[in-house]
Structure 1
Amino acid sequence: MISVLIVDDQALVRTGLQMLCDSAADIEVAAEADSGEPAVRLARDLSPDVVLMDLHMPGMDGIEATAGITASAPAARIVVLTTFDDDDHLYPALQAGACGFLAKHAAPDRILAAIRAAANNERPFSPEVLARLVGRAVAHSTAPERTPLTPRERAYSIPTGGPPRA
């Protein structure tokens, strides 16, 4: 059973996520929190498998709470579930320790899949966020320079057509 901590300042969102989790036989809600301070305390005390984290909350926001949970309950996998699906929120959340990032408009089955993926040590991202991450990585990377093979290395290399024949 995957235990989940739901963190969101909106009661309606928490209730909806609770109902969604209740619809899955393999997921149970361990607790809910309406801001970062109780979320950090609950994560430390309950050790949930997954935390669904909103970012904009009164008091301690989701970025600070993510960092606090990462420090006090490092086994918890934090998936950000937010209205603000932009890089200004994405990168700070990842730097704070989030393992995934989805927009609140994600389909219910995608949210359940993200919970399961996070519990399996995977990194669930919405397709739009993943495309931005890959695009940024490609834009900021350089391909390693290939060093030509020495004559000796060429003599012992396997041809691209398959293994050498006997």
Structure 2
Amino acid sequence: MLPSGVELLSPIEGYALDCIPEEQESQEEKGSGSLVSVCLRLRNTSAQLRTVELPAGLILISDDLSSQNGMLAQAVPLQVPAQQTLAVALHLYCINETRAPTASWDTYRLGPVTQDPGLREIINLVADKFLPVPGREEVQYAISNVTDGPGLTPQDRQALVSLPPLSAGREPGAAP
């Protein structure tokens, strides 16, 4: 997932106000979802700008079993400047309804990209939809129905299909 010259700085920590340093040019938040928010840091040791794409369905796993794991509903492209560290406030949807939302002291690690058929269907349904920060309740409800409920319902599908499309010039996973 990471190109040559780019490394993930560990651990991935729960989001805190000091996540993105003031001197960093880009202050954007990425992803969508309101219950799992982390500070992701990538270091580019190469002499060239590197692009990292976090894939839709990527799961971040909490090291604390009482905190929620998170999933990206859409791919998130990141530009990591040459010889710099990029800090990103990354927002994800919860995939463990009975666990607590992210706290700043929580730590996470990269997990797999989900292959669950219900979650993959949600990802496909929202691929061309505008999902702002802090996220869409319709998406969280659908995910919770798949991970902790009866599965994706006809009402979930209709709600996801009815979401607004991506606007011209907006990337999936970009803040409004």
- How would you bin the TM-score normalised by the shorter chain? under 0.3
The TM-score, its normalising length taken from structure 2, stands at 0.22
Bigger Rg, which one: 1
- Is the helix fraction higher in 1 or 2? 1
- Is the strand fraction higher in 1 or 2? 2
The TM-score, its normalising length taken from structure 1, stands at 0.23
Higher relative contact order by CA 8 Å / sep ≥ 6: 1 or 2? 2
